[in-house]
Amino acid sequence: MRVVLLGPPGAGKGTQAQIIAGQLGVPAISTGDIFRANVSGQTELGQQAKTYMDAGDLVPDEITVAMVRDRLDEADARTGFLLDGFPRTIGQAETLENALEKRGRSLTAALLVAADDDVVMKRLSGRRVCTKNGHNYHVDFDPPKREGVCDQDGSKLVQRDDDKPETVKHRLDVYHKQTQPLIEHYEDQSLLKRFDGTRAPDEVHNHIRATIATMRMEEQV
C-alpha cells in the first residue's frame, strides 16, 4: 500500500500516521519529523530548512523532494509507505507520481484528515512539547500535572516556534494556497478519502481503519 496523508497542520495527521502505518505494515514517513531531526542534528539539510520552518513557510520543493526520494529508496519503503505531510504542493505530487510510475507503481490512496481553521488554531497554539523527548501536551485539553513541566520525564515544556499564533495563521494561509489544491488533484484521480479531524482521535482512526479494510477487500476482488 502506498498512501499519502493530507490535511491542515493540527488536524491530527501525525497521531493517525503512526497507527495506520502499524496496521498496514509500512513505514510512516513524516517530512516534518525528518526536517526537525535534521535541525536538532544541525545537519546541512537542517540549516537549509530551519528558516522556512520557523517562519511557517514550506521548505522549497527541490530540497524536500530530494530528501523524500532518498527516504523512499530505503529498503523498508520498497513494498509500501505512508507519507505524512508530503506532498504539500502540486509540484511535489507530480514528482511523486512520476517517480512511482518509473518503478511501475502508483498511489493506493490519499487520506484527507480535515479540520477548520478555528479548531487548528486552538489546538496548535495551546500545544506544548517537552524539550527532552518531544512528549505533547495541550494547555486546555491535555494539561501536564505541573504547569510547564513534562509528567513523563520532568523536562521543561515549550511552545514550538511554529505553534505561535501568528505563525499558525501563516501556516494555514500556506496550506490553503499551496496544499489545498491537492484535494481536487486526488479527487480527480479517484484516490481521495475524507475523514473528520475534529472528532476524537479514536473515532477518526476507526473510520480510517474501516476505509482501509474496504480498500484491501476491493484490491483482492
Catalytic positions, written as ranges: 13, 88, 127, 160, 171
Q: Which residues pair with 156 in a beta bridge?
A: 149
Choose between 1 and 96: whose C-beta lies nearer to ligand AMP.
96
> Can you give 12-45 as a three-state secondary structure string?
CHHHHHHHHHHHHCCCEEEHHHHHHHHHHCCCHH
Q: Total residues at the site for ligand AMP (CB under 6 A)? A: 17
Given 6, 85, 108, 168, the residue binding ligand AMP (CB under 6 A): 85
Question: Mask 30-69, x = binds ligand AMP (CB under 6 A)?
Answer: -xx--x----------------xx--xxxx----x-----
Q: Which is nearer to ligand AMP, 19 or 215 (CB)?
A: 19
Which of 86, 137, 175, 195 forms a contact with ligand AMP (CB under 6 A)?
86
What does the DSSP 8-state code read for residue 163? Answer: G
* Angle value at C-alpha 30, between 203 and 103, nearest 5 degrees: 110
Task: Please report where in the chains the cell 521548505 appears, as a residue.
Answer: 59
Residue nearest to ligand AMP (CB): 32
For residue 182, give the H/E element and its range.
Answer: helix 181-188
In the complex, the smallest distance separating the C-beta of residue 10 from ligand AMP, rounded to whole angstroms, is 8
Contacting range for ligand AMP; rule: CB under 6 A; set: 74-82, 83-91, 123-131, 145-153:
83-91
Spatial separation of the C-alpha atoms in residues 27 and 4, rounded to whole Å: 12
Q: Crossing angle for the helix pair 90-102 and 181-188, nearest 10 degrees?
A: 40
User: Under the criterion CB under 6 A, does residue 160 sit at the interface with ligand AMP?
Assistant: no
Q: How many CB atoms neighbour CB 167 within 10 A?
A: 20
User: Is residue 204 at the binding interface for ligand AMP, with CB under 6 A as the rule?
Assistant: no
The contact set with ligand AMP (CB under 6 A) reads 9, 31-32, 35, 52-53, 56-59, 64, 85-86, 88, 92, 162, 171
